[in-house]
Structure 1
Amino acid sequence: MTCDDLCEMLSEQTPACDLAREALLSGGAFVVWEGLVPANQLFHTYRIRRRVAQRHGQVTLGLDETVGILEATGDELLRIGSIRTPDQTWTFTLFLNATANTVLACTGVARTSHGGD
């Protein structure tokens, strides 16, 4: 998968997609891992992450929408990817279908500079 391929797949799935695309276009690093994970397992994980982020005041983007998409996707197997902005201030997590030709959801988290990550 190329950067251009991934940019084309990022549309309006969640509010984080535009910033993730911008990160790629400005030289951000990305990876899409080979393993497959059931969406319902990811739903439970990211629902907990949403609660923890809210409790700690962590800045996120598209997390609510991503949790909803993961819940609706059921037990479909997904690939996970990641994009980091060139300045390392944001990390985006991507959820792609099993063949990695469609982005289903994207969420972003602002990285803190005070050693908490």
Structure 2
Amino acid sequence: MERHVLEKLLAGDDEASAAALAALRSGATYSVWDTTHPAEQHAGVFALRLRRMRLRGVEPLGLERMVQLLREHRRPVRGGMIDSADQKWTFLFYFTEDGSALVACARLQRWVERSPL
């Protein structure tokens, strides 16, 4: 998927997709997967991850909403991710099976391993 197409699809009204769009326009790298999977499968995985993150005191931007939207979608989705240029954030997004519309987007803080001193 070309960058300008992804930018157009991320022009949503929620904070996560707005942040993803800003990251993309600031030089972030991205990938969109060729395969599709049932939306419910992704919703289940991210519902578990959300619970674990909350136990650690982390509230990822848009992840609860993404789980809800994926559950409601009930059709296959095509996913992808954006890694911010500063390497602080990863954005996950899901489109309709044909890639014509955004279903959901969330921002996760990247885990960076620190080298021992």
TM-score, structure 2 as length reference: 0.90
Of all paired residues, the percent bearing the same amino acid is 29
Counterpart check, 1:79 vs 2:103: no
- 3-state SS, counterpart of residue 93 of structure 1: strand
Please show how residues 33-112 of structure 1 align to structure 2 within 5 Å. Answer: 33-74=33-74, 76-112=75-111
TM-score, structure 1 as length reference: 0.90
CA contact (8 A) 1:43 1:71 kept: yes
Structure 1 portions without partners, runs of 5+? none
- Quick one: distance in 1 between partners of 2:94 and 2:32? 9
Cα gap change, 1:43 to 1:99, in 2 (>3 Å): same
CA contact (8 A) 1:79 1:96 kept: yes
The runs of at least 4 aligned residues of structure 1 exceeding 3 Å deviation read 112-115
- Quick one: distance in 1 between partners of 2:107 and 2:13? 13
- Quick one: distance in 2 between partners of 1:4 and 1:15? 19
Which residue identity does 2:96 align to in structure 1?
N
In structure 1, the residue matched to 2:17 is: 17
1:113 Cα deviation (Å)? 3.5
Which residue identity does 2:108 align to in structure 1?
V
Q: How many residues align?
A: 114
